[in-house]
Structure 1
Amino acid sequence: MYTALLILILFVCFLLALVVLAQNPKGGGLSGQFSAGGAASMIGVKRSGDLLEKLTWGFAITLVVLSLGTHMLGQGVAGPARSVNQQRALETKLPATRSLPAPAPSGAATPGTTAPAASAPAPQSAK
Protein backbone atom coordinates (compact mmCIF):
# COMPACT_ATOMS: atom_id res chain seq x y z
CA MET A 1 0.00 0.00 0.00
CA TYR A 2 2.82 2.38 0.92
CA THR A 3 4.61 1.74 -2.38
CA ALA A 4 1.39 2.29 -4.33
CA LEU A 5 0.90 5.67 -2.65
CA LEU A 6 4.48 6.66 -3.49
CA ILE A 7 3.96 5.75 -7.14
CA LEU A 8 0.70 7.71 -7.16
CA ILE A 9 2.48 10.72 -5.64
CA LEU A 10 5.11 10.62 -8.39
CA PHE A 11 2.39 10.43 -11.05
CA VAL A 12 0.50 13.40 -9.54
CA CYS A 13 3.77 15.40 -9.37
CA PHE A 14 4.39 14.73 -13.04
CA LEU A 15 0.86 15.80 -13.99
CA LEU A 16 1.12 18.90 -11.81
CA ALA A 17 4.34 19.91 -13.53
CA LEU A 18 2.74 19.46 -16.97
CA VAL A 19 -0.32 21.53 -16.03
CA VAL A 20 1.80 24.34 -14.58
CA LEU A 21 3.99 24.44 -17.68
CA ALA A 22 0.92 24.48 -19.95
CA GLN A 23 -0.52 27.61 -18.34
CA ASN A 24 -0.19 30.95 -20.06
CA PRO A 25 1.78 33.59 -18.18
CA LYS A 26 -0.46 36.13 -16.49
CA GLY A 27 1.95 38.98 -17.16
CA GLY A 28 2.52 39.77 -13.49
CA GLY A 29 5.70 39.69 -11.50
CA LEU A 30 9.13 39.88 -13.05
CA SER A 31 8.11 38.31 -16.35
CA GLY A 32 5.80 41.26 -17.10
CA GLN A 33 8.58 43.74 -16.45
CA PHE A 34 11.07 42.31 -18.92
CA SER A 35 8.94 40.91 -21.72
CA ALA A 36 5.96 41.94 -23.77
CA GLY A 37 3.34 40.94 -21.22
CA GLY A 38 0.50 42.71 -23.02
CA ALA A 39 0.96 40.73 -26.20
CA ALA A 40 0.71 37.39 -24.37
CA SER A 41 -2.55 38.33 -22.67
CA MET A 42 -4.15 39.55 -25.94
CA ILE A 43 -3.38 36.32 -27.77
CA GLY A 44 -4.02 33.90 -24.87
CA VAL A 45 -7.18 31.83 -24.56
CA LYS A 46 -9.29 32.66 -21.49
CA ARG A 47 -11.41 29.52 -21.11
CA SER A 48 -8.51 27.03 -20.96
CA GLY A 49 -6.94 29.12 -18.19
CA ASP A 50 -9.84 28.37 -15.87
CA LEU A 51 -9.57 24.63 -16.46
CA LEU A 52 -5.79 24.60 -16.01
CA GLU A 53 -6.07 26.62 -12.81
CA LYS A 54 -8.64 24.20 -11.39
CA LEU A 55 -6.46 21.26 -12.37
CA THR A 56 -3.45 22.88 -10.68
CA TRP A 57 -5.34 23.36 -7.43
CA GLY A 58 -6.77 19.84 -7.63
CA PHE A 59 -3.37 18.23 -8.20
CA ALA A 60 -1.78 20.33 -5.44
CA ILE A 61 -4.46 19.34 -2.91
CA THR A 62 -4.22 15.70 -4.01
CA LEU A 63 -0.45 15.82 -3.53
CA VAL A 64 -0.80 17.18 0.02
CA VAL A 65 -3.43 14.57 0.95
CA LEU A 66 -1.35 11.71 -0.47
CA SER A 67 1.75 12.95 1.34
CA LEU A 68 -0.11 13.06 4.65
CA GLY A 69 -1.48 9.59 3.89
CA THR A 70 1.99 8.14 3.41
CA HIS A 71 3.10 9.77 6.64
CA MET A 72 0.22 8.22 8.57
CA LEU A 73 0.70 4.84 6.91
CA GLY A 74 4.46 4.79 7.38
CA GLN A 75 4.47 5.44 11.14
CA GLY A 76 3.52 1.93 12.22
CA VAL A 77 5.38 0.04 9.51
CA ALA A 78 9.06 0.65 10.10
CA GLY A 79 9.19 3.00 13.06
CA PRO A 80 10.88 6.35 12.86
CA ALA A 81 13.03 6.77 9.77
CA ARG A 82 16.62 7.61 10.58
CA SER A 83 19.42 8.81 8.40
CA VAL A 84 22.62 6.84 7.98
CA ASN A 85 24.45 9.21 10.30
CA GLN A 86 21.84 8.80 13.04
CA GLN A 87 22.03 5.01 12.74
CA ARG A 88 25.83 5.01 13.02
CA ALA A 89 25.72 7.34 16.00
CA LEU A 90 23.31 5.01 17.78
CA GLU A 91 25.40 1.93 16.95
CA THR A 92 28.73 3.30 18.12
CA LYS A 93 29.69 2.68 21.71
CA LEU A 94 30.85 5.60 23.73
CA PRO A 95 34.19 5.24 25.50
CA ALA A 96 33.94 4.39 29.16
CA THR A 97 33.97 7.46 31.34
CA ARG A 98 35.99 7.69 34.52
CA SER A 99 33.72 7.01 37.40
CA LEU A 100 33.94 8.89 40.64
CA PRO A 101 35.04 6.88 43.67
CA ALA A 102 32.21 5.38 45.60
CA PRO A 103 31.40 7.16 48.85
CA ALA A 104 33.19 5.58 51.78
CA PRO A 105 31.16 3.93 54.52
CA SER A 106 30.75 6.08 57.57
CA GLY A 107 33.39 4.27 59.67
CA ALA A 108 36.02 3.75 56.93
CA ALA A 109 38.99 6.01 56.37
CA THR A 110 39.13 8.25 53.35
CA PRO A 111 42.39 9.08 51.56
CA GLY A 112 44.41 11.67 53.43
CA THR A 113 42.88 11.01 56.83
CA THR A 114 43.73 8.57 59.57
CA ALA A 115 41.48 5.77 60.53
CA PRO A 116 39.72 6.07 63.86
CA ALA A 117 41.12 3.93 66.61
CA ALA A 118 39.41 0.63 66.88
CA SER A 119 38.41 -0.65 70.21
CA ALA A 120 39.84 -4.11 69.73
CA PRO A 121 40.94 -6.07 72.73
CA ALA A 122 44.63 -5.98 73.37
CA PRO A 123 46.49 -9.21 72.70
CA GLN A 124 47.16 -11.18 75.84
CA SER A 125 50.62 -12.23 76.59
CA ALA A 126 51.36 -15.83 77.34
CA LYS A 127 52.47 -16.50 80.95
Structure 2
Amino acid sequence: MYTAIIVLALFVCLLLALVVLAQNSKGGGLSSNFAAGGTAQLMGVKRTGDLLERLTWGFAISLIVLSLASHVVLSGQTTGPTRSVNQQKALETRIPAAPAAPAPQAPVPGAGTQPAATPAAPAQQPAATPAQ
Protein backbone atom coordinates (compact mmCIF):
# COMPACT_ATOMS: atom_id res chain seq x y z
CA MET A 1 0.00 0.00 0.00
CA TYR A 2 2.80 2.37 0.94
CA THR A 3 4.64 1.66 -2.32
CA ALA A 4 1.50 2.34 -4.35
CA ILE A 5 1.03 5.71 -2.65
CA ILE A 6 4.66 6.66 -3.33
CA VAL A 7 4.40 5.68 -7.00
CA LEU A 8 1.18 7.67 -7.34
CA ALA A 9 2.82 10.67 -5.64
CA LEU A 10 5.74 10.51 -8.09
CA PHE A 11 3.31 10.44 -11.01
CA VAL A 12 1.46 13.47 -9.60
CA CYS A 13 4.80 15.28 -9.20
CA LEU A 14 5.62 14.65 -12.85
CA LEU A 15 2.22 15.91 -13.99
CA LEU A 16 2.49 18.96 -11.73
CA ALA A 17 5.87 19.85 -13.20
CA LEU A 18 4.52 19.55 -16.75
CA VAL A 19 1.47 21.70 -15.99
CA VAL A 20 3.59 24.38 -14.36
CA LEU A 21 5.95 24.45 -17.32
CA ALA A 22 3.03 24.73 -19.73
CA GLN A 23 1.65 27.89 -18.10
CA ASN A 24 2.29 31.37 -19.45
CA SER A 25 4.79 33.35 -17.50
CA LYS A 26 5.62 37.03 -17.88
CA GLY A 27 8.12 36.15 -20.58
CA GLY A 28 5.92 33.70 -22.46
CA GLY A 29 7.32 30.51 -20.89
CA LEU A 30 7.14 27.18 -22.63
CA SER A 31 3.43 27.37 -23.20
CA SER A 32 3.68 28.67 -26.75
CA ASN A 33 6.12 25.95 -27.77
CA PHE A 34 5.11 23.11 -25.49
CA ALA A 35 1.50 22.38 -24.66
CA ALA A 36 -0.77 25.38 -24.79
CA GLY A 37 -0.20 26.19 -28.45
CA GLY A 38 -2.80 23.73 -29.68
CA THR A 39 -5.20 24.12 -26.79
CA ALA A 40 -5.17 27.91 -27.01
CA GLN A 41 -6.71 27.70 -30.48
CA LEU A 42 -9.23 25.12 -29.37
CA MET A 43 -10.51 26.67 -26.15
CA GLY A 44 -9.25 30.25 -26.23
CA VAL A 45 -6.39 31.81 -24.29
CA LYS A 46 -8.38 32.73 -21.18
CA ARG A 47 -9.90 29.27 -20.81
CA THR A 48 -6.53 27.56 -21.25
CA GLY A 49 -5.04 29.67 -18.47
CA ASP A 50 -7.93 28.82 -16.18
CA LEU A 51 -7.62 25.11 -16.95
CA LEU A 52 -3.88 25.05 -16.29
CA GLU A 53 -4.34 26.99 -13.06
CA ARG A 54 -7.02 24.58 -11.85
CA LEU A 55 -4.86 21.60 -12.79
CA THR A 56 -1.94 23.12 -10.88
CA TRP A 57 -4.03 23.58 -7.75
CA GLY A 58 -5.54 20.10 -8.10
CA PHE A 59 -2.16 18.38 -8.49
CA ALA A 60 -0.67 20.39 -5.61
CA ILE A 61 -3.54 19.49 -3.28
CA SER A 62 -3.44 15.85 -4.32
CA LEU A 63 0.32 15.77 -3.64
CA ILE A 64 -0.27 17.09 -0.13
CA VAL A 65 -3.03 14.52 0.46
CA LEU A 66 -0.81 11.70 -0.81
CA SER A 67 2.07 12.74 1.43
CA LEU A 68 -0.24 12.78 4.46
CA ALA A 69 -1.69 9.41 3.44
CA SER A 70 1.80 7.91 3.18
CA HIS A 71 2.52 9.09 6.72
CA VAL A 72 -0.70 7.57 8.03
CA VAL A 73 -0.06 4.25 6.28
CA LEU A 74 3.56 4.13 7.43
CA SER A 75 2.77 4.96 11.04
CA GLY A 76 0.04 2.31 11.07
CA GLN A 77 2.50 -0.40 10.00
CA THR A 78 5.15 0.13 12.65
CA THR A 79 4.91 0.00 16.38
CA GLY A 80 6.82 2.59 18.30
CA PRO A 81 8.68 5.56 16.92
CA THR A 82 9.89 5.52 13.34
CA ARG A 83 13.65 5.41 13.17
CA SER A 84 16.06 6.00 10.34
CA VAL A 85 18.36 3.28 9.07
CA ASN A 86 21.30 4.88 10.87
CA GLN A 87 19.44 4.93 14.17
CA GLN A 88 18.48 1.25 13.76
CA LYS A 89 22.11 0.26 13.06
CA ALA A 90 23.35 2.26 16.05
CA LEU A 91 20.89 0.51 18.36
CA GLU A 92 21.81 -2.94 17.02
CA THR A 93 25.56 -2.43 17.24
CA ARG A 94 27.21 -3.81 20.35
CA ILE A 95 30.44 -2.18 21.35
CA PRO A 96 32.95 -4.78 22.56
CA ALA A 97 34.33 -4.28 26.04
CA ALA A 98 37.78 -2.76 26.05
CA PRO A 99 40.44 -5.25 27.15
CA ALA A 100 41.63 -4.64 30.67
CA ALA A 101 45.01 -2.98 30.80
CA PRO A 102 47.64 -5.07 32.56
CA ALA A 103 48.20 -3.94 36.11
CA PRO A 104 51.56 -2.30 36.65
CA GLN A 105 53.92 -4.56 38.53
CA ALA A 106 55.24 -3.32 41.81
CA PRO A 107 59.02 -3.03 41.96
CA VAL A 108 60.68 -5.90 43.77
CA PRO A 109 62.81 -4.63 46.66
CA GLY A 110 66.47 -5.44 46.29
CA ALA A 111 66.16 -6.35 42.63
CA GLY A 112 68.43 -3.51 41.63
CA THR A 113 68.84 -3.10 37.92
CA GLN A 114 68.11 -6.69 37.01
CA PRO A 115 64.75 -7.34 35.33
CA ALA A 116 62.18 -9.26 37.28
CA ALA A 117 62.31 -12.98 36.67
CA THR A 118 59.54 -14.37 34.54
CA PRO A 119 58.26 -17.89 34.95
CA ALA A 120 59.64 -20.24 32.36
CA ALA A 121 57.24 -21.20 29.65
CA PRO A 122 56.75 -24.93 29.21
CA ALA A 123 58.80 -26.27 26.36
CA GLN A 124 56.79 -27.14 23.34
CA GLN A 125 57.43 -30.42 21.71
CA PRO A 126 57.80 -30.42 17.95
CA ALA A 127 54.81 -31.83 16.14
CA ALA A 128 55.36 -35.30 14.82
CA THR A 129 55.30 -35.49 11.06
CA PRO A 130 53.83 -38.58 9.52
CA ALA A 131 56.32 -40.75 7.66
CA GLN A 132 55.63 -41.26 4.04
**TM-score, scaled relative to structure 2:** 0.54
Q: Name the structure 1 match of 2:48.
A: 48
Percent identity over paired residues: 66
Q: C-alpha displacement at 1:95, in angstroms?
A: 6.5
2:20 is aligned with 1:20: yes
Amino acid at match of 1:90: L
Q: Which ranges in structure 2 are unaligned for 5 or more consecutive residues? A: 33-39, 98-132
1:44-83 matched pairs, under 5 angstroms:
45-79=45-79, 80-83=81-84
Distance 2:17 2:83 in 1: 30
Equivalent position SS for 1:46: helix
2:93 is aligned with 1:88: no
Distance 1:21 1:62 in 2: 18
Distance 1:84 1:7 in 2: 21
Q: For this pair of structures, how many residues does the alignment match?
A: 84
Amino acid at match of 1:18: L
Amino acid at match of 1:61: I
Distance 1:78 1:3 in 2: 15
Q: Deviations over 1:43-83 (max 9, x none)?
A: 88332111100100000000101110110111121344432
Distance 1:59 1:2 in 2: 19
Amino acid at match of 1:85: N
Distance 2:14 2:78 in 1: 27
CA RMSD of aligned residues (A): 2.6
Distance 1:7 1:88 in 2: 27
Amino acid at match of 2:87: Q
Q: Deviations over 1:70-121 (max 9, x none)?
A: 101111213444323212211123576xxxxxxxxxxxxxxxxxxxxxxxxx
Distance 2:55 2:9 in 1: 15
Distance 2:76 2:50 in 1: 41
